[in-house]
Copies of this chain bind each other. A is one copy, B any other.
Amino acid sequence: MKPTQKAMENPVLVEVTRGGRIESRHRGAVAVSDPDGRLVLALGDVDAAVFPRSAVKALQALPLIESGAADKYKLSEAEIALACASHSGEPIHVETARTALAKCGRDAGALECGVHWPLDPDAARALAASGAAASALHNNCSGKHAGFICVACAAGIDQRGYVKPRHLVQREVTAALEGATATKLDETSAGVDGCAIPAYALPLRSLARGFARFGTGVGLGPKRAAAAARLRAACAAHPHLVAGTGRFDTLVMTALGARAFVKGGAEGVHCAALSDLGFGVAIKCDDGAGRAAEVVMAALIARFLPLSDREHALLDARLNPPIRNWNGERVGGLAAAEVFGLLTKAT
């Protein structure tokens, strides 16, 4: 099937420089919304549908809490944070996924996410040096999938096929996504994600609205609002489990705690819930570049959140990340583009 969506000229969001010249440019769109769908900020085509990919893992984890599965199996706060994670495959991530599965009587053999080596290069090399092979537990999505399996087991049904759209688990996950984003999702917007579950495209502004609702509970109803608060608290308490060593989301949530829930997804998507302000943020870089989405998210956080000097210093390396040569010398960097002029007061 030939795709037919027209390419809108989204603005340049991030510039990559070398020797004082622009080497590369990243275009994209940004939506910042309140829970009612009113846009606080819009850059580029915020009506275009995007695949949020792993940026919505926390929304996909809502059924784990709402169904009672997390309580039934006495999942720890760490295991709940890992259910929202794209983790780096470090030993603590692997062990946490393993214990979550064990609590519902399953093991790595039940995971249908596929196998890949740890995202963290040091962890991958350490695993290789140990003589072990990569397993589905090392897949960055293993915590989310462990949560899915808990949902199936708590419901008393066969967990096999839990990645398929018609399985109870994915029907509940899709319903949670629809509820949070106030968007109807169906097969016309569906693809398949890297970990084999359905991926639904939805308008960037709806995604931002979904995170405003996730961050505030407004419009979710009391049960889902409580589940969202519990997921946010788990991630704020265990930011290392949501990503890993040196990763953007871990750094931001370590610095800002419950003030900023942030989560990246593949292909240049990044979302956030800024609960104090009641804002949800959704970013999509046209070209799929995560390095650019992170700079945009850092710029938006610096613009919207009041930051202490210490918090700003922590964020600064991600606002203007350097590019270094292999001798460690700074030879260039990334920075938010001029379209962010109005937004970068705090830089």
Contact = CB atoms under 8 A, between A and B. Distances in A.
A113 B326 contact: yes
Given A3-B17, A131-B129, A326-B116, A331 B24 contact: no
A136 to B, nearest CB: 8
Interface string A1-29: 10101010100100111111111111100
Contacts of A42: none
A199 B18 contact: yes
Contacts of A21: 3, 5, 49, 51, 189, 191, 201
| Copies of this chain, whole number | 2
Interface in A172-186: none
A36 interface: no
Given A24-B287, A191-B21, A325 B114 contact: yes
A51 B27 contact: no
Interface stretch (A63-71, A120-128, A212-220): A120-128
Interface string A321-347: 000011111011000000000000000
Contact of A191 (B20, B27, B124): B20
Nearest to A291: B288
A316 interface: no
Nearest to A16: B288
A79 interface: no
Q: Taking each of A16, A27, A117, A191, which has the highest tally of chain B beta carbons within 10 Å of its own beta carbon?
A: A191
A275 interface: no
Given A18-B191, A21-B3, A331-B194, A121 B117 contact: yes
A193 interface: yes
Interface string A267-306: 1100000000000000001111100100000000000000
A96 interface: no
A227 to B, nearest CB: 27
A84 to B, nearest CB: 19
A252 B22 CA distance: 30
17 contacts: A3-B21, A5-B21, A16-B267, A18-B192, A18-B199, A21-B201, A24-B286, A114-B326, A129-B129, A129-B131, A191-B331, A192-B329, A195-B325, A196-B329, A287-B287, A287-B289, A289-B289
Given A19-B199, A21-B49, 13 more contacts: A3-B22, A9-B9, A16-B267, A18-B191, A21-B189, A24-B268, A24-B286, A113-B326, A114-B325, A115-B326, A116-B326, A124-B124, A128-B129
Interface of A: 1, 3, 5, 7, 9, 12, 15-27, 49-51, 112-117, 121, 124-126, 128-129, 131, 139, 189-196, 199, 201, 267-268, 285-289, 292, 325-329, 331-332
